[in-house]
Structure 1
């Protein structure tokens, strides 16, 4: 039986304005292509393996497939790319039907687009984006190996992966009800317009909910994590409400965007049970997801909940350790 691994490479990840305003690293198309080629090399650890690559308008996927060695069969997923997030969401929905595991090269936004559409297919996340709370800095070859042993069954997917939570905002606005979903965070920003989407000014954050939180993370999850630590697979999450530092009951120091440590006033920060609402009432605001502004709202009540329904994320070390324990890598 062929082990089929899907591969998503987002050309737009790691390219936004935060390279100019902060210290976010640059991930250009050459670097992404090289990482993707390493993923294919790693998948080759399985004798009968196939990699199906999401096509893109930048030509990265074409180059990756053309450079594949004889050890791994590689081809393009049969969708017509348009150059936007729709490509990722459509590819993830297709991978739900045809892939045994998926490797994602991107940031939190790319992983959100995959995770909310890929169903129970295990995901290996490789950091090549700006906000990288969910994806980890792992070598592409190692990521490919982990995906391959899960796809092949040499490592039990249920035993070496965990269910990541999400943060979901229900917005009851002036004229209609809308929903915004984040993989790590959903925030409320005291601004009127989406604009460039990137969150640049920490002082405009009113608060939000994180499905995971730790002081070493970036943005809302990092700020909330200075008070309450929440592991990615813990039930529920943490809600935080910011205030001007001089008026707040406490102040925290946290990484708000790459390269920037800010002091934030905190009026309320508490653990939330799964599904418990954290409320905001605003006249004018923007709702953000995973560090990007998504939705402009007027005269709205915003109820944000941490929900335990995210993607199945592979623990790379655990997957490789399980395969090694089963003797997968050794021939006698």
Structure 2
């Protein structure tokens, strides 16, 4: 029997950028509706996969189970709920061994947490967070249908997925070695403490590394993309060193956060190959991943390396196109016999 995992992060889309910028508000009621749509989409194939849902204390999983289509077998994953990112990683680790595809509702941070544990399981990442560079704004019903096509083999997973890169960070500071992983971007900000996790002041950005770049991305990826785009499935990454636009030879007008643009001075831009590190010597900074500050480092050498070990992301359009070619969405004979 095939299986699809569903992960919905209750905390996604609820940080301070809803107040300081133009980030959209995705409350848990909206996530319940999206989860309901995902389950409806799974039913497009003749023999829908079973579904396992990450539990939570916000009612998303309970709603998904109670409102699931009658012909869909849905259960909650038996696991401890801490109401933290550990829940997402724990569920993803379970799905690595038991799921044929996984749908995740969240932003870049949620997708990153899933990617750390999901292994090679195909991932449909649906945008319901604040920073949404990797997740796509796909309808939940479409996401569910694409996951069903991949899980049941109606779509060849190798043909309809792309391997996204990731960025591994190692920092040696006065307190020892610290590590971090990013998907779309890893940023260094000129401040001595994490504080509000969201990066909301563009003047604090010192630089970092991105695994993809386009002006339509949010944050450091937009800065890099204004100079030269880098496709999500292109090898390697780009290292940026930033400075005051009053003193740099060039600057860009970039989308640095939802609802926020800024002129950013670019001192250096270096194209990186897979496993080619960029090194930053810093004094008292915070290193963040995908728009969220994570590590406080002091008198450190920070090494950022793009690698080809990111998640396998499903192209929903390609998956459903493959399902059409396979005839998986066609039923023969009168439907009265099935009712």
Shorter-chain TM-score bucket reads over 0.9
Equivalence for 1:54: 54
TM-score (norm 1): 0.98
Equivalence for 2:310: 310
Describe the SS at the equivalent of 1:234: coil
Equivalence for 2:241: 241
1-side partners of 2:280 and 2:15: how far apart? 28
- Asked whether the equivalents of residues 239 and 270 of structure 1 are also in contact (C-alpha less than 8 Å), the reply is yes
1-side partners of 2:313 and 2:49: how far apart? 20
Equivalence for 2:23: 24
1:238-317 correspondence runs (5 A):
238-317=238-317
1-side partners of 2:331 and 2:20: how far apart? 52
Matched, 1:68 2:99: no
Structure 2: unaligned runs, 5 residues or longer: 333-339
1:149-298 correspondence runs (5 A):
149-298=149-298
Deviation at 1:160, TM superposition (A): 0.4
Moved more, 165-174 or 285-294: 165-174
1-side partners of 2:64 and 2:7: how far apart? 11
1-side partners of 2:275 and 2:114: how far apart? 22
2-side partners of 1:16 and 1:331: how far apart? 45
Query: What is the aligned-residue RMSD (CA, Å)?
Result: 0.8
TM-score (norm 2): 0.96
Equivalence for 2:130: 130
- Asked whether the equivalents of residues 222 and 254 of structure 1 are also in contact (C-alpha less than 8 Å), the reply is yes
2-side partners of 1:249 and 1:309: how far apart? 35
Equivalence for 1:12: 11
1-side partners of 2:11 and 2:193: how far apart? 21
> Which runs of structure 1 show a deviation greater than 6 angstroms over 4 or more consecutive aligned residues?
none
2-side partners of 1:177 and 1:112: how far apart? 21
The aligned length equals 331
- Asked whether the equivalents of residues 214 and 229 of structure 2 are also in contact (C-alpha less than 8 Å), the reply is yes
Describe the SS at the equivalent of 1:52: strand
Deviation at 1:321, TM superposition (A): 0.4
1-side partners of 2:94 and 2:329: how far apart? 30
2-side partners of 1:326 and 1:271: how far apart? 40
Deviation at 1:226, TM superposition (A): 0.9
1-side partners of 2:150 and 2:67: how far apart? 24
Deviation at 1:59, TM superposition (A): 2.0
Describe the SS at the equivalent of 2:209: strand
2-side partners of 1:77 and 1:39: how far apart? 17
Structure 1: unaligned runs, 5 residues or longer: none
